[in-house]
Amino acid sequence: MAEPLHIGLLLFPGFQALDVFGPIDCLNVLSRTHPLTLSILSHTLDPISTKSPLHPTSISQTINPTHTFSSPPPDIDVLLIPGGLGTRLLDSDPITASIAFIREIYPALRYLITVCTGSGLAARAGVLDGRRATTNKRAFRDVAAWGGERVEWVAKARWVIDGNVWTSSGVSAGIDVTLAWIAHVYGEEVAQGVADGIEYRRVKDAGDDPFAEVYGLE
Amino acid sequence: MAEPLHIGLLLFPGFQALDVFGPIDCLNVLSRTHPLTLSILSHTLDPISTKSPLHPTSISQTINPTHTFSSPPPDIDVLLIPGGLGTRLLDSDPITASIAFIREIYPALRYLITVCTGSGLAARAGVLDGRRATTNKRAFRDVAAWGGERVEWVAKARWVIDGNVWTSSGVSAGIDVTLAWIAHVYGEEVAQGVADGIEYRRVKDAGDDPFAEVYGLE
């Protein structure tokens, strides 16, 4: 696939910073040699904070969207959905809007990539129905209860590919699923070049996941 | 050290996203159980972009500072300096201002932590004089030439500790140096809890660095 891809990044208050910037920094590096477009989508154009209402005293950062869910660019090829404590507020306006946007855009996507509890939002949107998927291991049982009964949740997996849906385990697993996706789309040499550029030791085996055991899922 | 620490994050245009958000997300998670304060400092309060003038067509994100270098909070304990292609513009206003700020604040710090080519800015500020330090491995020779002749640059190191200065290798090494620093300050159990929370396989040996060989430094 030589043509430039348009990446959409979905954001909501209380996103986990590394869920976003692990994958996105791989794509930043990739885009130095392979042109990409990035749009950052949220329910508002105001800055979006990593701070979750569940941890109001934690430190936080804000990043800036480029589009709202109601005015997305027309040609997004790949949607990246992070997780984070913000996903827990399932009835909040930003999360309700995120789930509606995922449901609306999914049929037009070439790829959907989720990190951490982001797969819980995809499950709520119904786009994981009948698919195999994984999620954050500490939150595994919680996510499976968020309307994900029609999903075949895989406990021991760094990431899971089912059709055009790539779901990964918690936080740093987003780096590995993104490098695996880059290898799939652009070739192994390009993916290894990105990994070397960020001095990251890839997990190359999607089943290599010690954290299922750490969190008592085996 | 039980009391809350005040973390300062230094930002400049063209910072590497994961240099910032690897360490910062470890601190975000830490701050859920161990109170911290974070200030984000730059030459302006305008949003700061990851985009480097060296790669004007690459995709980018912006994050928002909380303070300028000219009006910093008075009580920063720990300064975190990321790297990125923006560091290459040594004569630009933001980098000149960053170096001056590092020089000014260093004597009041408890700890200085650098990621990637961020150690090159610390070297230019003179605060690495007579110290052992490391940096990004692909940029190793360049950084050593940025006025770092009085620094003992260590090629094969994931990170190096010399006094209160913790310098790490490229990009993802920032996660490992931060977890090592958390272990030092808060204890090993706290550090491992953060690592498990982000499902990250720590490099625990500061000398375990395959990227020195990848980039022909051995």
Q: Which residues of A touch B37 (CB under 8 A)?
A: 59
Catalogue the E-assigned strands of B90-201. 111-114, 132-133, 152-153, 159-162, 165-168
**Which tokens sit at B48?**
């700061």
Cβ distance A61 to B55 less than 8 Å, yes or no, reads no
Residues 155-184 of B with CB under 8 A from A: 169-173, 175
Using CA atoms in the order A115, A119, A120, A121, what is the torsion angle rounded to 10 degrees?
90
Q: Give the global pTM.
A: 0.97
Cα radius of gyration rounded to whole Å, chain A = 16
User: How far is the C-alpha of B17 from the C-alpha of B209, rounded, in Å?
Assistant: 21
Contact B214/B144 with Cβ under 8 angstroms?
no
- For residue A43, the model assigns a pLDDT of 98
Rounded to the nearest angstrom, the minimum Cα separation between B130 and chain A is 26
Q: How far is CA A177 from CA A125, A141, B108, in A?
A: 21, 21, 41
Residues in chain B: 218
Q: Is A26 an annotated catalytic residue? A: no
Identify the closest residue of chain B to A169 by CA–CA distance. B199
Task: Please state the rounded mean pLDDT for residues A133-147.
Answer: 92
Report the candidate in B110, B80, B78, B116 with the shortest Cα–Cα distance to residue B98.
Answer: B80
- For residue B200, the model assigns a pLDDT of 98
**Model confidence over A174-214: pLDDT tens digits?**
999 999 999 999 999 999 999 999 999 999 999 999 999 99
Beta bridge partners of A39: A8
User: How far is the C-alpha of A170 from the C-alpha of A18, rounded, in Å?
Assistant: 10
Residue to mutate among A179, A198, A215, with most B CBs inside 10 A, is: A198
**Which tokens sit at B185?**
């300050």
Report the candidate in B173, B77, B21, B117 with the shortest Cα–Cα distance to residue A21.
Answer: B21
- For residue A91, the model assigns a pLDDT of 92
Under 8 Å CB-to-CB from B170, ≥6 apart: which residues? A197, A198, A199, B83, B115, B116, B117, B135, B136, B137, B138, B139, B211
User: How far is the C-alpha of B14 from the C-alpha of B17, rounded, in Å?
Assistant: 9
Task: Please state the rounded mean pLDDT for residues A126-149.
Answer: 92
Catalytic residue among B27, B116, B139, B182: B116
Number of cross-chain residue pairs from A and B with Cβ atoms under 8 Å apart: 134
Higher pLDDT, A21 or A53: A21
Cβ distance A59 to B31 less than 8 Å, yes or no, reads yes
Cβ distance A38 to B61 less than 8 Å, yes or no, reads yes
- By the 10 Å C-beta count (0-12 exposed, 13-18 middle, 19+ buried), B43 is classed as buried
- For residue B1, the model assigns a pLDDT of 53
Please state whether beta strands A152-153 and A159-162 pair in parallel, antiparallel, or not at all (unpaired). unpaired
Inform me whether the C-beta atom of residue B40 falls under 8 Å from chain A C-beta atoms. yes
- For A172, which of B17, B47, B200 is closest by C-beta distance? B200
- For residue A2, the model assigns a pLDDT of 53
Inform me whether the C-beta atom of residue B198 falls under 8 Å from chain A C-beta atoms. yes
Could you report the average pLDDT of every consecutive run of 10 residues in chain B (218 residues)?
83 98 98 97 98 91 98 97 96 97 98 98 96 96 85 97 97 98 97 98 97 93
Residues 118-137 of A with CB under 8 A from B: 136-137
Q: Respond yes or no on whether ipTM tops 0.85.
A: yes
Cβ distance A64 to B59 less than 8 Å, yes or no, reads no
- For residue A208, the model assigns a pLDDT of 97
Rounded to the nearest angstrom, the minimum Cα separation between A182 and chain B is 16
User: How far is the C-alpha of B100 from the C-alpha of B122, rounded, in Å?
Assistant: 10
User: How far is the C-alpha of A133 from the C-alpha of A151, rounded, in Å?
Assistant: 7
User: How far is the C-alpha of B89 from the C-alpha of B117, rounded, in Å?
Assistant: 12
- For residue A146, the model assigns a pLDDT of 84
Catalytic residue among A5, A24, A102, A116: A116
Q: How far is CA B191 from CA A138, A164, B30, B145, B176, in A?
A: 16, 36, 8, 34, 10
Tell me how crowded residue B92 is: count the other CB atoms within 10 A of its CB. 17
Contact B141/B41 with Cβ under 8 angstroms?
no
Contact A18/A174 with Cβ under 8 angstroms?
yes
